[in-house]
Structure 1
């Protein structure tokens, strides 16, 4: 096994490679927010793996059983140096958040999310950007929380959801901002399937190993025959809608209120929908 667990420079993730399967563990306590550092490290590791023909599958999981990726860091604007660095290296037709999803969608390896806990906002967008996702029935949850913050998804979520679940269910997920359980998410097509928690690890491991063991060229041929759709126009519309909202003073106040009430802490994140609805009532 080639291990990257102690690779210098990685602060928010751990990775190892064995028998054609790369396993990336997201580890950014206390609740695994997708902050600027994690975005940079995910882009770095995906770029490093891109040209490695020995890797055929990448599996993403979380070090925190409760939270896969909580959502984008609500304080991310405070890390402007890294954001500017990410913006400078992003393709010209996407924002920095969309750039991560598009990198994941166009990765040559098969990308799989193992979802044991919750993924909201940018975390849910990450799940939808991966090729496959499998979730634990008892503990997993998916939701686009952004509407309760006064904004809309800005990291590809509108487009990825429409592609996966259809316009009507995408609007439902975005405008209700509800947290969907794994079985509902699977029935909608947001994820591949929901499994009992005690079977999730073994199932994902078996799928990853079986794909990695396929004859040479099969993975490449399948991904060539089933390419990621070109979402350029939709991502541009999404970015315009998101950018028009995120700069509003009322949105900034609502997000600050949510942080004061406990967002981005384990207790607050367990019912972030309720927390943010309560914050919105105190206008």
Structure 2
């Protein structure tokens, strides 16, 4: 009996992921308190899950959401500045021409299943890049927000945002997102092309659940054929330019001062993350 034929929902939990499987859909709730920072353990668990489910024919759609209503994925863990070897294991498994953060996004983008983000809270930095790598994104009006706030830390995005956003928006809007570094609400994100739709918060769950079930119920081979026909852009040369820009700035003293200053001022706490842009703008360069 395959997943589609089971009436009950199969539940699985890792330390940071709560996974439910039913009717061809795997729903993955991210839970990494206090604010769902994208740290090394969370990246490992997400990567392991994506690799493990690739060959599961009964799972046709992946829906990512958050167990925290305020934060989807806050951003990459800023404390990693003190652990230069944190990503050594990732580097060994990273395809040539990509850094570990770009490879993480590309793993999601190249997933054989259809991938959907159900965004009810905030996603910034590496969290927003994870969102942008997915096939579809639906966000709650009034509570969802997206930001590429790296410039406020003295760097530019290094996990794919420059390329993913350029595939969705005009150049001017990409530069506005990256250099303006503001939190973008769901309605604006929809208008800019960052997400598929901005949906009333009370309707988000039902809409995404219905869409995911309908897609999972399509005849075998339809999802794969559609993803193959609507081919994703080849971004390798752009990733190279992005990594050079990001790495060059990360090596500068300003980046270290701003990241450490942000942590001291309250970044990665719930209060600080609710107004992270304001917190970072208050720092002295």
Q: TM-score, normalised by structure 2?
A: 0.95
Q: Give the structure 2 partner of residue 145 of structure 1.
A: 149
Residues 12 and 38 in structure 1, CA contact (< 8 A), matched pair in contact too: yes
Does 1:159 pair with 2:163? yes
Q: Give the structure 1 partner of residue 94 of structure 2.
A: 90
Structure 1, unpaired ranges of 5+: none
Deviation at 1:78, TM superposition (A): 4.1
Deviation at 1:4, TM superposition (A): 4.9
SS at match of 1:153: coil
Deviation at 1:92, TM superposition (A): 1.4
Deviation at 1:79, TM superposition (A): 4.8
Specify whether residues 128 and 159 from structure 1 end up closer, same or farther in structure 2 by C-alpha distance, changes over 3 A only.
same
Instruction: Describe the superposition over 1:137-192 as per-residue Cα deviations: whole angstroms up to 9, x where unpaired.
Output: 01000110000000000000000000011211111100100111000000111000
Q: Give the structure 2 partner of residue 5 of structure 1.
A: 12
Residues 66 and 116 in structure 1, CA contact (< 8 A), matched pair in contact too: yes
Alignment partners' CA distance in 2, 1:166 and 1:131: 19
Deviation at 1:248, TM superposition (A): 1.4
Q: TM-score, normalised by structure 1?
A: 0.95
Does 1:39 pair with 2:46? no
Instruction: Describe the superposition over 1:46-97 as per-residue Cα deviations: whole angstroms up to 9, x where unpaired.
Output: 0011111111100000010000000111012445555111111111110000
**RMSD of aligned residue pairs (Cα, Å):** 1.2
Deviation at 1:2, TM superposition (A): 6.1
Deviation at 1:3, TM superposition (A): 3.3
Deviation at 1:99, TM superposition (A): 0.7
Does 1:264 pair with 2:268? yes
Q: Give the structure 1 partner of residue 282 of structure 2.
A: 278
Alignment partners' CA distance in 1, 2:152 and 2:84: 24
The match for 1:115 among 109, 116, 119 is 119
Q: Give the structure 2 partner of residue 211 of structure 1.
A: 215
Instruction: Describe the superposition over 1:249-270 as per-residue Cα deviations: whole angstroms up to 9, x where unpaired.
Output: 2210111000000000000000
Q: Give the structure 2 partner of residue 238 of structure 1.
A: 242
Instruction: Describe the superposition over 1:180-225 as per-residue Cα deviations: whole angstroms up to 9, x where unpaired.
Output: 1000000111000001100000000001000000111111110110
Does 1:59 pair with 2:59? no
Alignment partners' CA distance in 1, 2:119 and 2:212: 14
Specify whether residues 221 and 139 from structure 1 end up closer, same or farther in structure 2 by C-alpha distance, changes over 3 A only.
same
SS at match of 1:159: helix
Does 1:186 pair with 2:167? no
Deviation at 1:5, TM superposition (A): 2.1
Number of residues of Structure 1 aligned to a counterpart in Structure 2: 278
SS at match of 1:158: helix
Alignment partners' CA distance in 1, 2:58 and 2:130: 24
Alignment partners' CA distance in 2, 1:29 and 1:62: 11
Residues 37 and 82 in structure 1, CA contact (< 8 A), matched pair in contact too: no
